[in-house]
Chain A
Amino acid sequence: MSVTLDDSAFLAGLQRAFEGFEKHEIPAHKLKVAGEIRDRAKQIAEAHRLTGETIDSIEVTQEGDDVYVGTDLGEKAISEEFGTFDQAPRPFMRPAELEASR
């Protein structure tokens, strides 16, 4: 199975959790919410644990004032999150982000 992604919407979409934050809000607040999303995503992904590779790869990263939650597994994580023709989606990032959004 090979899957290629045309854009980076997967990770970019996760930034939605931070919409509504004012620019002057301290990154620590963002990091706290990001940590909550990461922990919940790991919890959801546990339901379909095989090797644990996906779960272990879910991390929070920071670039300047921007905070990201996601995984660097790329193709594998995308297949898991959105499914393939042979496998139903097993979303773990979007539900976690929904629960944390305000």
Chain B
Amino acid sequence: MSLTLGGALKAYLEGQGLGIAVYTDAPPSTVIPPSKAPYKPYVIVNEDIGLKLDSGKAADTALTGVELVQLDLWQCFRILDKSKESPTLADALTRALQSARLSTAPSLIYGIKQQGRVRTVERDNNLIHHAYTIAVLREV
């Protein structure tokens, strides 16, 4: 059982065989950025960027709501003009997230829905950034 939603996402995603490490809020200071050898991509989980409770619930039913979470996938951009971005990883992460139930989460998760995904290139840092916005339907 994970203590936080971020911990549950980490446990789930790292178990999907995608070859990525997942950290909540920020990677430990010892982690090598994806732009440097061995160019290992990683994901950062930003929990609770928004929470909306479901309305109209009877007093004796569980409190439920939608929590917005942002996931940041960081990958190396280019080395010697050759792309280091995985052509499949971003979609693989989308597929893994969609409808995941997160069995180790601290509260009951009804499902996850990806609401959006944005790709940006940070040339100065030699990084590709995929920012996923996911809605987690869960008990509060």
Residues of A within 8 A of B (CB): 1-7, 9-10, 13, 16, 78, 82-86, 88-89, 91, 94-95, 98-99, 101
The answer to whether A2 and B70 touch (CB under 8 A), given A7-B119, A9-B117, A13-B115, is: no
Q: Which B residues lie within 8 Å of A101 (CB)? A: 52
User: What are 19 A-B interface contacts by the 8 Å CB criterion?
Assistant: A1-B122, A1-B124, A2-B124, A4-B121, A5-B119, A82-B131, A85-B122, A85-B125, A85-B129, A86-B125, A91-B50, A91-B68, A94-B50, A94-B68, A94-B115, A94-B133, A98-B52, A98-B135, A101-B52
* Number of residue pairs spanning A and B whose beta carbons lie under 8 angstroms apart: 80
The answer to whether A84 and B129 touch (CB under 8 A), given A2-B123, A9-B117, A98-B52, is: yes
A82 to B133, CA, bound (A): 9
Q: Closest Cβ of chain B: how far from A13's Cβ, in Å?
A: 4
Q: Which B residues lie within 8 Å of A84 (CB)? A: 122, 125, 129
CB-nearest residue of chain B relative to A90?
B49
Q: Which A residues lie within 8 Å of B127 (CB)? A: 85
Among candidates B66, B121, B125, residue contacting A98 with C-beta atoms closer than 8 Å: B66
A9 to B116, CA, bound (A): 7
Residue total for B at the interface (Cβ-Cβ under 8 A):
29
Interface status of B118 (Cβ within 8 A of chain A): yes
Q: Closest Cβ of chain A: how far from B56's Cβ, in Å?
A: 11
